[in-house]
């Protein structure tokens, strides 16, 4: 079959293999709602600018409505011979209402149309993702309220470092995700620019009201250069990068959950329904969900690199290479939304094993820094306090003692400034309680910060 839309200058029909190779319908079919919405706004505008009669506009709009219904119910016949979603919709409209349908392409090209449809579609998905990202923050903050004063082992180099509150750790997750929310909103504003009206690349000789279309489609502004507008995919890259950051954060969170679930750590439990067993080892309870999230991060990173590579050699303006953008970004967005959602559901079920957590937090001299700071409050330079406490730890290790069970006499061998108030200073509870600067781990801070997060999320729709 000859492609009627552009076959005027061709004597031969397109080669079957080329048709298969070059069609994008199998991927861009998801744009049909956006395509119909954009076409409707375009047609309304053409009517207002007197390029179409009011009766024609009415007829086209009724036709589009019918096509939308058919598409939704799965009754619209799609054909890869028509190459992409845009030509399929146009073809369906012409079959539905006849010759008038051919007028929708006046003053536009598939180059500005595909960019517009993609923006409309991604803008909707970014709003869905924003909802999920806010839910995830809410989950972390709610758990932080619950566990605001529960002692938890804090690590650096994955070695025991200092005690923290579990709530503080959960708010660290929330802080990462809060930055992702900002990145999503920034990306949204990059997406929210209308390219339609740029036509193939230089604009069109028809006088258009681009601002009307922008308003109708909720775009905040119109593109400023037609050549850039049809070849710009920065907004897709921004979205892809934001997805990568979200997945990187989820992957780090997954890694921690996997570690904490290991019976040798045994710090948390999650609902059994989020775990799987082994087909050979009857005792196993495996954390497959966080493992899969960590694994899927790879393809989202890969898509970002694929997109960057896709763009790097392209001269202005539209090139067919650009058709390859959608498969990559759609996969990234889909994976990211699914992973944020499943992680939110999983994190909700986290239960802290408080006894074990206390045990691990107190092992390995984790309040040694408190002791050093105690000495410095008594006038010793911190570098010297650090050295003194280092010697105390060495002494404890060789005598199989902990800081708590050193006698005052033993302490005073290292510094006369140590008094019996030291036993209070080096308790885990006191250690976390006394870290009260903004952003530190004290239960009071955690509770206040978590409530602030929950409050601010309440005001977002
Ligand atoms: N399917 C094409 C794409 O996604 C639509 C634009 C085609 N434009 C063109 N000049 N062939 O990029």
Over the chain (461 residues), the average pLDDT of each successive run of 10 is 66 90 98 98 98 98 98 97 97 97 97 98 98 98 98 97 98 98 98 98 98 98 98 98 98 98 96 85 87 98 98 98 98 98 98 98 94 96 97 97 96 97 96 96 98 95 67
Query: Quick one: pLDDT at residue 12?
Result: 86
Q: Are residues 412 and 342 in the same domain?
A: no
Query: Quick one: pLDDT at residue 283?
Result: 81
Whether this model's pTM surpasses 0.75: yes
Domain-terminating residue out of 106, 131, 156: 106
Nearest CA to ligand 1 atom 11: 320
Nearest CA to ligand 1 atom 7: 110
Atom of ligand 1 nearest to the CA of 84: 1
CA–centroid distance, residue 317 to ligand 1 (Å): 12
Q: Is residue 213 part of a domain?
A: no
Structure tokens at 389: 């406490």
Q: Is residue 39 part of a domain?
A: yes
Which domain CATH number covers 409?
Answer: 1.10.40.30
Nearest CA to ligand 1 atom 2: 323
| pLDDT cut 90: percent of the chain above it | 93
**186 and 179 Cβ atoms separated by less than 8 Å:** no
pLDDT digits (tens, 9 = 90+) for 7-23: 777 888 889 999 999 99
Q: Are residues 249 and 325 in the same domain?
A: yes
Nearest CA to ligand 1 atom 12: 323
Sign of CA dihedral 308, 312, 313, 317: positive
Q: Indicate the top mutation candidate among 9, 20, 110 to test ligand 1's pocket, ranked by most ligand atoms within 8 A of CB.
A: 110
CA–centroid distance, residue 113 to ligand 1 (Å): 9
CA–centroid distance, residue 272 to ligand 1 (Å): 48
Q: Is residue 192 part of a domain?
A: yes
Q: Are residues 269 and 343 in the same domain?
A: yes
Q: Phi and psi for 44 in degrees, rounded to 5?
A: -55, -45
Task: Tell me which residues have their CB closer than 6 angstroms to ligand 1.
Answer: 24, 28, 84, 110-111, 114, 318, 320, 322-323
Q: Indicate the top mutation candidate among 84, 86, 310 to test ligand 1's pocket, ranked by most ligand atoms within 8 A of CB.
A: 84
Query: Quick one: pLDDT at residue 460?
Result: 85
The whole-angstrom separation of Cα 191 and Cα 121 is 10
CA–centroid distance, residue 24 to ligand 1 (Å): 8
CA–centroid distance, residue 137 to ligand 1 (Å): 39
Q: Is residue 2 part of a domain?
A: no
Atom of ligand 1 nearest to the CA of 6: 11
- What residues are annotated to the active site? 157, 278
Query: Quick one: pLDDT at residue 284?
Result: 78
Nearest CA to ligand 1 atom 4: 323
Q: Are residues 402 and 437 in the same domain?
A: yes
* Full domain range(s) for residue 342: 111-197+224-354
**347 and 141 Cβ atoms separated by less than 8 Å:** no
Q: Indicate the top mutation candidate among 88, 196, 227, 320 to test ligand 1's pocket, ranked by most ligand atoms within 8 A of CB.
A: 320
Q: Is residue 433 part of a domain?
A: yes
Angle at which helix 54-73 crosses helix 85-97, to 10 degrees, equals 120
Which domain CATH number covers 97?
Answer: 1.10.275.10
Which domain CATH number covers 250?
Answer: 1.20.200.10
Q: Are residues 305 and 374 in the same domain?
A: no
Q: Are residues 417 and 340 in the same domain?
A: no
Query: Quick one: pLDDT at residue 8?
Result: 77
Q: Is residue 244 part of a domain?
A: yes
Domain-terminating residue out of 87, 106, 125: 106
Angle at which helix 110-146 crosses helix 166-191, to 10 degrees, equals 160
Q: Are residues 28 and 176 in the same domain?
A: no
Q: Is residue 132 part of a domain?
A: yes
CA–centroid distance, residue 192 to ligand 1 (Å): 21
Q: Is residue 332 part of a domain?
A: yes
Domain-terminating residue out of 69, 84, 106: 106
- Number of compact structural domains in the chain: 3
Q: Are residues 189 and 123 in the same domain?
A: yes
Q: Are residues 341 and 402 in the same domain?
A: no
Atom of ligand 1 nearest to the CA of 322: 12
Q: Are residues 131 and 151 in the same domain?
A: yes
Q: Are residues 307 and 254 in the same domain?
A: yes
Query: Quick one: pLDDT at residue 28?
Result: 98
CA–centroid distance, residue 404 to ligand 1 (Å): 72
Q: Are residues 95 and 139 in the same domain?
A: no
Beta-strand relationship, 159-165 and 151-156: antiparallel
Atom of ligand 1 nearest to the CA of 110: 6
Query: Quick one: pLDDT at residue 54?
Result: 98
């Amino acid at each position: 079959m000859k492609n009627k839309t552009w076959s005027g200058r061709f004597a031969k029909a397109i080669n079957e293999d080329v048709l298969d190779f070059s069609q994008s319908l199998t991927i861009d079919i998801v744009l049909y709602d956006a395509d119909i919405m954009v076409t409707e706004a375009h047609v309304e505008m053409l009517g207002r600018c007197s390029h179409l009669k009011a009766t024609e506009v009415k007829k086209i709009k009724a036709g589009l409505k019918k096509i939308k219904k058919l598409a939704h119910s799965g009754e619209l016949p799609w054909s890869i011979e028509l190459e992409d979603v845009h030509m399929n919709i146009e073809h369906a409209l012409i079959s539905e209402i006849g010759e008038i349908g051919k007028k929708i392409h006046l003053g536009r090209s598939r180059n500005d149309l595909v960019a517009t449809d993609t923006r409309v579609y991604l803008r909707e998905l970014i709003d869905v993702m924003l909802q999920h990202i806010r839910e995830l923050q809410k989950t972390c903050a709610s758990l932080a309220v619950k566990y605001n004063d529960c002692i938890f082992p804090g690590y650096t180099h994955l070695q025991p470092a200092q005690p923290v509150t579990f709530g503080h750790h959960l708010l660290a997750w929330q802080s990462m995700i809060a930055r992702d929310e900002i990145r999503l909103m920034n990306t949204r504003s990059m997406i929210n620019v209308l390219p339609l009206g740029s036509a193939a690349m230089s604009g069109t000789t028809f006088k258009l009201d681009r601002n009307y279309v922008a308003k109708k489609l909720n775009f905040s502004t119109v593109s400023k250069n037609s050549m850039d507008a049809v070849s710009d995919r920065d907004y897709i890259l921004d979205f892809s990068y934001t997805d990568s950051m979200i997945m990187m954060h989820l992957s780090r969170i997954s890694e921690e959950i996997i570690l904490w679930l290991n019976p040798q750590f045994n710090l948390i439990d999650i609902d059994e329904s989020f775990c799987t067993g082994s087909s050979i080892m009857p005792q196993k309870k495996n954390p497959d969900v966080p493992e899969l999230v960590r694994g899927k991060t790879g393809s989202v990173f890969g898509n970002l690199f694929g997109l960057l590579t896709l763009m790097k050699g392209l001269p202005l303006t539209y090139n067919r290479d650009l058709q390859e953008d959608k498969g990559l970004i759609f996969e990234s967005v889909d994976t990211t939304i699914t992973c944020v959602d499943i992680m939110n559901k999983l994190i909700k079920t986290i239960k802290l094993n408080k006894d074990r957590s206390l045990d691990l937090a107190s092992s390995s001299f984790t309040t040694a820094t408190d002791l050093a700071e105690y000495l410095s409050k008594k006038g010793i330079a911190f570098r010297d306090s650090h050295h003194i406490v280092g010697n105390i730890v060495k002494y404890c290790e060789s005598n199989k003692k902990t800081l708590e069970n050193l006698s005052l006499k033993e302490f005073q061998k290292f510094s006369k400034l140590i008094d019996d108030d030291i036993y209070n200073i080096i308790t885990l509870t006191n250690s976390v309680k006394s870290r009260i600067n903004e952003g530190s781990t004290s239960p009071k801070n955690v509770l206040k910060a978590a409530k602030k997060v929950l409050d601010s999320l309440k005001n977002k729709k």
